[in-house]
Chain A
Amino acid sequence: MSGPALLSIEDVVVELPTPRGNLRAVDHVDLSMAAGQALGIVGESGCGKTMLSRAILQLLPKKARLSGRVMFDGQDLVRLNPEALRKLRARGIAVVFQDPMTSLNPVLTIGTQLIETLQEHLGLDAAAARRRSAELLAAVGIPAPGQRLDQYPHQLSGGMRQRVAIAIALCCEPKLLIADEPTTALDVTIQAQILDLLAREQRRRHMAMILITHDLGVVAGRTDEVAVMYAGRVVERAPTRNLFKHMQMPYTAALLAAIPKLDAAPHTPLAAIPGRPPDPTRPLKGCSFAPRCRHVGEQCLREKPALTPADNQGHCYACFHPLEIAAGVST
């Protein structure tokens, strides 16, 4: 699926001053996606994927310094004036946060939180907004939507709350939806339902979606393209199928291997990745993954590898010692 890029992230760097030094959360990232495309961003905690999403949303903490361009629909969001940026929200870019218990206001009803968005951006009157809200709740699979509108978030279960958050995100028909670890705070049994809901809505509305997660298994079958991040950089990017079939990065392979498999024998030890991600206030000279990589070589310690294409189907990786792995993945 290609076409003119809806979202184009160009050489974005996000730095945060901390008492211990300058923290580089996002380190020269380039990404682009077309309208209607689903992109997965995968990485460990602290790899910068959330900061990247905040950079796109222009919701960074006040102290953060951002350089680079974030082009959305032909406009550079970084240089856009605040009022224009505000109008762009909900209709241009919408977001679903990780924990619906904290992302929904506990003292306002579900209805209020939906209706206010509709009234702000679509100019609906109260009655029309209320009708539309009930429709949205039904569309995301919430029973008795009319009643729910007058309830408070704490009266719903975790899965339902996230459905509400998704309804809020979708209510103004955004061109791009960013889902930041949408299922991490939910029960395992509900996770698949929510993810499927997201994927379904994405396809139905031809909406671009960025699905951020630490779990490679989540993006399989639900995204068109996957970008793997490590220590603030994109280290591998490929159409989803290709990624799983022809993994190039030792890190990606390690991520995949770390997923517990349903059909593995009992008591199979989890293949965890040894070591920890580098301290972001003290960036390494060479490849950031080098201290933990089994295939590490001389060059890896000296230089940072750049993203190089593996083939002409859009698969890139950043490694001096890429692998050729055919992984059998059960989605």
Chain B
Amino acid sequence: MLGFVARKLLHLLPVLLAVSLLTFLIASLLPGDLAYVILGDQATPDKVAALRHDMGLDQPIWWRYLGWLVQVLQGDFGRSFRTGQTVLQAVAERLPVSFELMLLAELGALVIGIPLAIACAVRAGSPFDRLVTGSAFGMLSVPAFLSAILLIYFFAVELRWLPATGFVPFSEDPLGNLRCFVLPALTLALGEWPVLMRVLRSDMIATLQEDYIAMARAKGLKPSRILLVHALKPSSLTLVTVTGINIGRLMGGTVIVESIFALPGIGRLLLGSIYTRDLIILQGVVLCVASGYVLINFIVDMLYAVLDPRIRHGHA
């Protein structure tokens, strides 16, 4: 087991390194100059040259990369020249909001997907099943921003039940905070539930044909117990792993939703840095998010191994 973890870590490090390199390169291939951007309309050739020298921008690129990397490894991701905040401070502020959104979205997807999957599996092939499966397929063709528009129109504009934008911190007002997350989380959940539903449904259909389900019926157990204990548990493996992978994927999806619903998360930080050309923040956030993505995939890989011992003893 330790050998497996070590092997995976070894694979992980070059990827992280390459990610940092790619991020840095993108930042450095600027048409137009960081110094110009910072100085704005105060730029004169002398000032630009001086600032460039100060910031070390006239050094060769590989030297700058190493310097940046060393800084990063020491925890210094840089400082926004607009707000004065360090990247890490900015990220730490926004991360909980994005996390809350991701968790609520995944929860919503499970709440929608699991009961539908069970209901479809029990009635496999029926008109109900076909309707739900068809809707799931159709739902996959509705991108997040479309769902968002629809939800905003119905719930915020027409019915006025929920706010279209705005954010209240949890510490201030838990209920208000959750209210702000309903529409955004629902938007993302609508995009995620089809995958979860399909996976669980197909696993459950297979499980329901097993002998031990017939045995459970023969023992005269309640149908609810047979479904929820005997059938659901063995069918959950794929669901759990897919949920784990999804949470990682959602990190990209939150950008749109945070922007539409004005939630102060990582995604909006990123967008903001693009709009204001705050390139240091942009570079730092991309690095954070990409590294987080890689780490989450790594954890999911570990989880696979824990759940299925055959994987530990490796196929290459």
Contact = CB atoms under 8 A, between A and B. Distances in A.
* A and B co-occur in one complex: yes
Interface of A: 57, 59, 86-91, 94-95, 97, 99, 102-108, 116-117, 120-121, 165, 168
A107 B219 contact: no
B123 to A, nearest CB: 11
A107 B232 CA distance: 10
A59 B211 contact: no
A119 to B, nearest CB: 10
B225 A116 contact: yes
Given A88-B220, A95-B215, 20 more contacts: A59-B217, A86-B222, A89-B218, A90-B219, A91-B220, A94-B219, A95-B218, A97-B211, A97-B215, A99-B211, A102-B211, A104-B212, A105-B216, A107-B234, A116-B219, A116-B221, A116-B229, A117-B219, A117-B221, A120-B219
A136 to B, nearest CB: 14
Given A105-B230, A107-B234, A89 B215 contact: no
A103 B215 contact: yes
Given A89-B219, A97-B211, A107 B225 contact: no
A292 B222 CA distance: 47
Contacts of A59: 214, 217-218
A165 B216 CA distance: 11
A203 B216 CA distance: 26
A143 to B, nearest CB: 24
Q: Is the interface of B mostly helix, strand, loop or mixed?
A: helix
B210 interface: yes
B212 A105 contact: yes
Most chain B CB atoms below 10 A, which of A88, A95, A97, A103: A103
A59 B214 CA distance: 7
Contact of B220 (A87, A97, A99, A108): A87
Interface in B227-257: 229-230, 233-234
A90 B220 contact: yes
A94 B233 contact: no
A48 B218 CA distance: 19
A99 B214 CA distance: 12
B220 A106 contact: no
A153 to B, nearest CB: 9
A57 B218 CA distance: 7
A259 to B, nearest CB: 28
Contacts of B234: 105-107
A108 B229 CA distance: 9
Interface in B131-147: none
A120 B221 contact: yes
Contacts of B217: 59, 89
Contacts of B230: 105, 108
B122 to A, nearest CB: 11
Contacts of A87: 220
Q: How large is the interface on B (under 10, 10 to 19, 20 to 34, 35 or more residues)?
A: 10 to 19
Interface of B: 210-212, 214-222, 225, 229-230, 233-234
Contacts of A102: 210-212
Contacts of A116: 219, 221, 225, 229
Nearest to B237: A107
A174 to B, nearest CB: 10
Contacts of B225: 116, 120
Contacts of A103: 211-212, 214-215
A14 to B, nearest CB: 16
Contacts of B210: 102
10 contacts: A59-B217, A59-B218, A86-B220, A86-B222, A90-B220, A97-B214, A103-B212, A116-B225, A117-B221, A120-B225
A108 B221 CA distance: 15
Contacts of A95: 215, 218
A87 B221 CA distance: 8
Contacts of A108: 229-230, 233
A162 B208 CA distance: 21
B213 to A, nearest CB: 8
B212 A89 contact: no
Contacts of B214: 59, 97, 103
Most chain A CB atoms below 10 A, which of B211, B217, B220: B220
A86 B222 CA distance: 8
A116 B212 CA distance: 14
A59 B212 CA distance: 13
Nearest to B211: A102
Contacts of B218: 57, 59, 89, 94-95
Contacts of A57: 218
A310 to B, nearest CB: 35
A105 B233 CA distance: 10
- Sorted nearest first, the 3 A-B pairs with minimum C-beta distance are A89-B220, A102-B211, A105-B212
A103 B211 CA distance: 5
A103 B225 CA distance: 17
A73 to B, nearest CB: 15
Nearest to A105: B212
B220 A120 contact: yes
Contacts of A97: 211, 214-215
A43 to B, nearest CB: 21
A202 B230 CA distance: 29
B221 A106 contact: no
Contacts of B229: 108, 116
Contacts of A165: 215
B219 to A, nearest CB: 5
A94 B215 CA distance: 10
Contacts of A107: 233-234
B219 A106 contact: no
A12 B212 CA distance: 26
Contacts of B221: 116-117, 120
A107 B213 CA distance: 12
B159 to A, nearest CB: 42
Most chain A CB atoms below 10 A, which of B211, B212, B216, B222: B212
